[in-house]
A and B are shown apart, each in its own frame.
Chain A
Amino acid sequence: MDIEFSEINKSFGQVHANADISLKIPGGEIFGILGENGAGKSTLMKVLSGYINPDSGEISLGGEVSHISSPADAIGYGIGMLHQDPLDFPPMQVIENFVLGQKGRMILTYKERIKEFQTFQNKFGFSLDPRAYVESLTVGERQQLEILRLLWLGVRVLILDEPTTGISAQQKDKLFRALQLLAGEGKTIIFVSHKLEDVESLCDEVVVLRKGRKVGKVSPPYKTDQLIEMMFGKQITLLTPEPAVKERVTLELKDLVVEKYPLRIEDVNLQLKAGEVVGLSGMEGSGQDILLRACVGLLRPVAGQVIINGKDLSHKTYLEFMQNKVSYLPASRMEEGLVPGISIAEHFTLTGNTDRKLFIDKEQFRQKTQEKIDEYHVIGRPETPVESLSGGNQQRVALSLLKESLNILLLEHPTRGLDIESAIYMWEKLKERCKKETSIIFISADLEEILRYSDRVLVFFSGYVSKPLDSRHTSLEQLGQLIGGKGWEDELVAKESYEPSK
Chain B
Amino acid sequence: MTGDMILLGLAGVIEAGAPIVIAAIGETLTERAGVINLSLNGTIILSGMVGFWAALETGSIALGFLAGMVVGAFVAAIVAFSSITLKQSQVAVGFVLAVMCKDLAYFLGNPIMGAQAPILYAAPVPFLSEIPIIGTLIFKQSIMTYISIILIIFAWFWVSKTRQGLILRGVGEKPAAAFNRGTNVVSTRYLYTIIGGALVGAAGPFYTLSVKAGWKGTITGLDGIGWIVLALTIFGGWEPFRVAFGAYFFAFLQWLGLVLQSTLIFIPSQVLQVAPFPLMILALLLVNLGNTDWVERFLATLPEKSRTRVKKLIRATRSQPPAALGTPFERD
* A92, B320: Cα distance in complex, Å: 12
Q: Which residue of B lies closest to A109 (CB)?
A: B161
Given A92-B169, A106-B162, A108-B163, verify A12-B297 contact (CB < 8 Å).
no
Chain A residues positioned under 8 Å from B163 (CB to CB): 99, 102, 104-108
Instruction: Please choose the segment from A27-35, A67-75, A233-241, A280-288 that sits at the chain B interface, where 4 or more of its residues have CB less than 8 A away.
Output: A67-75
Q: A101 near B164 (CB under 8 angstroms)?
A: no
Pick the residue among A70, A71, A96 that contacts B166 (CB under 8 A).
Answer: A96
Q: B300 near A302 (CB under 8 angstroms)?
A: yes
Q: A261 near B182 (CB under 8 angstroms)?
A: no
Chain A residues positioned under 8 Å from B177 (CB to CB): 87-89
Q: A92 near B173 (CB under 8 angstroms)?
A: yes
Q: B164 near A91 (CB under 8 angstroms)?
A: no
Q: B167 near A100 (CB under 8 angstroms)?
A: yes
Given A12-B332, A51-B332, A52-B332, verify A106-B164 contact (CB < 8 Å).
yes
Q: Which residue of B lies closest to A258 (CB)?
A: B300
Mask, A416-452, CB within 8 Å of B = 1, is 0000000000000000000000000000000000000
* A67, B173: Cα distance in complex, Å: 29
Chain B residues positioned under 8 Å from A289 (CB to CB): none
- From 91 to 126 in chain B, residues with beta carbon under 8 angstroms from any chain A beta carbon are none
A325 within 8 A of B: no
B170 within 8 A of A: yes
Q: A71 near B180 (CB under 8 angstroms)?
A: yes
Q: Which residue of B lies closest to A73 (CB)?
A: B182
Q: B181 near A108 (CB under 8 angstroms)?
A: no
Chain A residues positioned under 8 Å from B296 (CB to CB): 300
Q: Which residue of B lies closest to A261 (CB)?
A: B311
A198 within 8 A of B: no
**Nearest-CB distance from B331 to chain A (Å)?**
7
**Nearest-CB distance from B40 to chain A (Å)?**
25
Mask, B152-194, CB within 8 Å of A = 1, is 0000000001111011011001101111111100000000000
Mask, A84-99, CB within 8 Å of B = 1, is 0001111110001001
Chain B residues positioned under 8 Å from A96 (CB to CB): 166
B325 within 8 A of A: no
Mask, B293-332, CB within 8 Å of A = 1, is 0001100100000000001000000001001000000011
Interface centre among A51, A81, A90, A101 (most CB of B within 10 A): A101
Given A52-B332, A106-B164, A107-B162, verify A101-B169 contact (CB < 8 Å).
no
Q: B331 near A99 (CB under 8 angstroms)?
A: no
* A383, B109: Cα distance in complex, Å: 53
* A108, B162: Cα distance in complex, Å: 5
Chain B residues positioned under 8 Å from A261 (CB to CB): 311
Pick the residue among B161, B173, B179 that contacts A89 (CB under 8 A).
Answer: B173
Interface of B is mostly: helix
**Nearest-CB distance from B235 to chain A (Å)?**
18
* A129, B332: Cα distance in complex, Å: 33
A254 within 8 A of B: no
Q: Which residue of A lies closest to B172 (CB)?
A: A89
Chain A residues positioned under 8 Å from B320 (CB to CB): 91
Chain B residues positioned under 8 Å from A99 (CB to CB): 163, 166
Mask, A265-278, CB within 8 Å of B = 1, is 00000000000000
Q: Which residue of A lies closest to B332 (CB)?
A: A52
A200 within 8 A of B: no
Interface size class of A (residues with CB under 8 A): 20 to 34
Pick the residue among A90, A100, A106 that contacts B181 (CB under 8 A).
Answer: A100
Q: B331 near A51 (CB under 8 angstroms)?
A: yes
Q: A101 near B161 (CB under 8 angstroms)?
A: no
Given A89-B174, A92-B169, A108-B161, verify A71-B182 contact (CB < 8 Å).
yes
A259 within 8 A of B: yes
Q: B166 near A83 (CB under 8 angstroms)?
A: no
Chain A residues positioned under 8 Å from B323 (CB to CB): 90-91
* A46, B180: Cα distance in complex, Å: 10
Q: A100 near B174 (CB under 8 angstroms)?
A: no
Chain B residues positioned under 8 Å from A71 (CB to CB): 179-182
Chain B residues positioned under 8 Å from A81 (CB to CB): 180
Mask, A298-330, CB within 8 Å of B = 1, is 001110000000000000000000000000000
Chain B residues positioned under 8 Å from A89 (CB to CB): 169-170, 173-174, 177
Mask, A191-210, CB within 8 Å of B = 1, is 00000000000000000000
Q: A101 near B182 (CB under 8 angstroms)?
A: yes
**Nearest-CB distance from A417 to chain B (Å)?**
18
Chain A residues positioned under 8 Å from B178 (CB to CB): 100
Chain B residues positioned under 8 Å from A92 (CB to CB): 169-170, 173
* A27, B331: Cα distance in complex, Å: 29
Q: B182 near A72 (CB under 8 angstroms)?
A: yes
Pick the residue among B166, B181, B300, B332 that contacts A259 (CB under 8 A).
Answer: B300
* A64, B323: Cα distance in complex, Å: 40
* A498, B328: Cα distance in complex, Å: 50
Q: Which residue of B lies closest to A88 (CB)?
A: B177
* A302, B308: Cα distance in complex, Å: 14
Chain A residues positioned under 8 Å from B174 (CB to CB): 87-90
Chain B residues positioned under 8 Å from A300 (CB to CB): 296-297, 300
Chain A residues positioned under 8 Å from B183 (CB to CB): 101
**Nearest-CB distance from B118 to chain A (Å)?**
37
Q: B162 near A100 (CB under 8 angstroms)?
A: no
Q: B181 near A101 (CB under 8 angstroms)?
A: yes
Q: Which residue of B lies closest to A43 (CB)?
A: B332
Q: A100 near B170 (CB under 8 angstroms)?
A: yes
* A71, B176: Cα distance in complex, Å: 11
* A52, B180: Cα distance in complex, Å: 11
* A275, B147: Cα distance in complex, Å: 71
Chain A residues positioned under 8 Å from B297 (CB to CB): 300
**Nearest-CB distance from B156 to chain A (Å)?**
13
**Nearest-CB distance from B16 to chain A (Å)?**
34
* A51, B164: Cα distance in complex, Å: 22
Chain B residues positioned under 8 Å from A46 (CB to CB): 332
**Nearest-CB distance from A258 to chain B (Å)?**
9
Chain A residues positioned under 8 Å from B311 (CB to CB): 261
* A47, B131: Cα distance in complex, Å: 64
| 17 CB-based A-B contacts, threshold 8 Å | A51-B180, A51-B331, A51-B332, A70-B179, A71-B179, A71-B180, A71-B181, A72-B182, A75-B182, A89-B174, A92-B169, A92-B170, A96-B166, A100-B170, A105-B163, A108-B166, A302-B300
- B residues adjacent to A (C-beta < 8 A): 161-164, 166-167, 169-170, 173-174, 176-183, 296-297, 300, 311, 320, 323, 331-332
Further pairs besides A91-B173, A302-B300: 4, Cβ < 8 Å: A81-B180, A87-B176, A91-B320, A100-B178
> Ordered nearest first, which 4 A-B pairs have the shortest CB separation?
A101-B181, A72-B182, A87-B177, A87-B180
- A residues adjacent to B (C-beta < 8 A): 12, 46, 51-52, 70-72, 75, 81, 83, 87-92, 96, 99-102, 104-108, 259, 261, 300-302
